[in-house]
Chain A
């Protein structure tokens, strides 16, 4: 049963520290998405990649967030420096779609980040 995996599942850190979240997409999927979910803002798209190339990162605060795909099995989301307002659940999703089949996304379990 193929799944998206994310590490760590929980992270508590102090303001100003660097945070790195990792995602392993489903093998063979060529599109990877990073989302952030909060009670106030709901589910927001931060960035996404297709065939490891970044397509859109307009949802990310550029000065502190960065997203990369060093290889097809790993996507990373970094926050440096972290701030309390970054506290949220961060989801990674992957997909392998087409215009005809649609672009169904499969979500990982999420990383719950708390910045104190």
Chain B
């Protein structure tokens, strides 16, 4: 059974600081997704990572994927209050066939950015 673990689960940051959220998964996969969820809202797709070494950046967020280590990171640069949200990673297991996007989500990291 695929397990996806994020850490930390809670992250309180000061504005202007940098930090990294980690996503570890337990089975072979080269497809990983990051989502953002604001309180009481739906999930919004942030990044799609499709190969080992993939790196994507959008504004103050940068995501990367190391399939050998079964690890993805979401790096936050110079945090601002607007980044406060819950961030999920999700893994699509690939075992020689296709799962058509059957994702297993991590527990989510609740990020709070304060002045």
Contact = CB atoms under 8 A, between A and B. Distances in A.
A18 B60 CA distance: 45
Contacts of A109: 41-42
A17 B98 CA distance: 38
Interface in A84-116: 91, 93, 95, 97, 99-110
A105 B103 contact: yes
- Name the prevailing secondary structure of the B interface residues: loop
A31 B31 contact: no
A48 B103 CA distance: 10
Interface string B19-55: 0000000000001010100000111110010100000
B80 to A, nearest CB: 24
A102 B31 contact: yes
B77 interface: no
Contacts of B43: 43, 91, 93, 107
A55 B107 contact: no
Contact of B88 (A43, A56, A100): A43
Given A43-B88, A45-B102, A91 B42 contact: yes
A42 interface: yes
B49 to A, nearest CB: 8
A96 to B, nearest CB: 10
B101 A105 contact: yes
A97 B100 CA distance: 7
Interface string A43-70: 1010010100001100000000000000
Contact of B98 (A33, A42, A48, A99): A99
A103 B88 contact: no
